[in-house]
Amino acid sequence: MPFPEQRPRRLRINENIRRMVRENSLSVDDLVYPVFVCHGSGQSFPIDSMPGIYRYSVDMLLRELEEIVKLKIPAILPFGLPAQKDEAGSGAYAEDGIIQQAVRAVKREYPDLTVITDLCLCEYTDHGHCGIILDNYVMNDPTLELLARTAVSHAAAGADIIAPSDMMDGRVGAIRTALDKNGYVNIPVMAYSAKYCSAFYGPFRDAADSAPKFGDRRSYQMDPANSDEALREVRLDIEEGADIVMVKPALAYMDIIRRVRDEFGFPVAAYNVSGEYSMVKAAANNGWVDEKRIVMEILTGIKRAGADIVITYHAREAAKWLQD
């Protein structure tokens, strides 16, 4: 029955009817807030390329989190800036490493806030790559041992979920085995399964001081041109024991989010990354777009694409807007 029997505008006539037929909605329950932590006390450094985002020392982070908890954002994703870096990224698995200290402090102060730890070596290696280097190549299997060790140290510090973002082959299995062997059978792994080699990580690398000192990450992160490969990566991670799978970045990869959701029916996380945030902030600060409407449209779009969990630097503001 075409027009005039069918008039789709009938269901858009007022807000109540629009609410009744709305297919997707964003909730604070969906949000994860990434944070940057550094050593020292009383420190809060603004990150120029990410307006509104800071590197905090642990004491200042605890203050910042008061609002996050009040807003009922369920989880944070802390990234650490170590005091020193070395070839093997030892700050990543040091017992008193920055993440280990931060996690212990956060869980002591806010036991009900879920802490997801990003598991990678690039913030901790002096060369800035996500694994051990031999002849300018990131070695896969030797890196797995360090990742497994880091995962166990995060769990020992009190992390609730471990999120490997390195893109080494076999890391999910190695981490799962190590966690289980150490008694952490109930700690889920949220795998950065389809993580693309993306220019959208630019501002993050300023924030976390994690840009590679030579070359790039193309020998381990995925080619943005690929889609079937993302499904193979996700399948492998699920077979190795991943509980939640992630697509990253989000906006240029909405099709991947949808394919992963349709194919596997596993919980899907999408990472609305630093460059995606910075572009919105830059345009909004120039008065070129309506920030609130743009952010809500982006986050709702990521949900509509099929994500259950949205990791976003907009989380604090979005949670406030959702309350209004």
Q: Which of 280, 290, 246 is nearest to 53 (CA)?
A: 280
Amino acid identity, position 265: G
- How far apart CA 286 and CA 288 sit, in angstroms, is 5
Q: Is 274 in the site for ligand PBG (CB under 6 A)?
A: yes
Amino acid identity, position 231: L
Question: Considering 195, 213, 281, 292, which one is annotated as catalytic?
Answer: 195
Q: Is 222 in the site for ligand PBG (CB under 6 A)?
A: no
Among 58, 133, 138, 273, which residue sits at the site for ligand PBG (rule: CB under 6 A)? Answer: 273
195 tagged catalytic: yes
Question: Looking at 41-49, 105-113, 170-178, 199-207, which segment touches ligand PBG (CB under 6 A)?
Answer: 199-207
Q: Is 118 in the site for ligand PBG (CB under 6 A)?
A: yes
Question: Considering 85, 248, 281, 303, which one is annotated as catalytic?
Answer: 248
Question: Looking at 13-21, 91-99, 197-205, 283-291, which segment touches ligand PBG (CB under 6 A)?
Answer: 197-205
Give 257's contacts (C-beta < 8 A, 6+ positions apart).
247, 250, 268, 270, 302, 305, 306, 307
248 tagged catalytic: yes
Among 58, 75, 106, 130, which residue sits at the site for ligand PBG (rule: CB under 6 A)? Answer: 130
Among 36, 196, 204, 253, which residue sits at the site for ligand PBG (rule: CB under 6 A)? Answer: 204
Q: Shortest gap between Cβ of 17 and ligand PBG (angstroms)?
A: 38
Q: What one-character-per-residue DSSP string does 50-115 give?
A: STT-EEEEHHHHHHHHHHHHHTT--EEEEEEE-S--BTT-GGGT-TT-HHHHHHHHHHHH-TTSEE
For residue 145, the number of C-alpha atoms closer than 13 Å in the C-beta half-sphere is 6
Tokens representing 140 are 């896969």
Q: Shortest gap between Cβ of 323 and ligand PBG (angstroms)?
A: 25
Q: Is 201 in the site for ligand PBG (CB under 6 A)?
A: yes
Where along the sequence are the contacts to ligand PBG (CB under 6 A)? 118, 120, 122, 130, 165, 201, 204-205, 210, 273-274
Active site residues: 195, 248
